[in-house]
Amino acid sequence: MLNLSLFMNPGIGLMDRRLKTENDAVSLAISGIIKNYKIKNEQIKTLETKYDDDAGDWYVALGWKEKRAVIKMDSVLATITDIKMI
The residues spanned by each domain of the chain are: 11-85
Task: Tell me how many degrees the CA angle 33-29-37 measures, rounded to the nearest 5.
Answer: 5
Q: Is the overall model pTM greater than 0.85, yes or no?
A: no
CATH number 3.30.43 is the correct assignment for the domain at 11-85:
no
pLDDT digit string (tens) for the chain, length 86 residues = 555 555 555 555 555 678 889 999 999 999 999 999 999 999 999 999 999 998 889 999 999 999 999 999 999 899 999 999 99
Contact 73, 57 (CB under 8 A): yes
Q: What is the distance, to the nearest Å, from the Cα of residue 45 to the centroid of all Cα atoms in its chain? A: 16
Contact 49, 64 (CB under 8 A): no
Nearest residue to 62 via CA among 16, 28, 12:
28
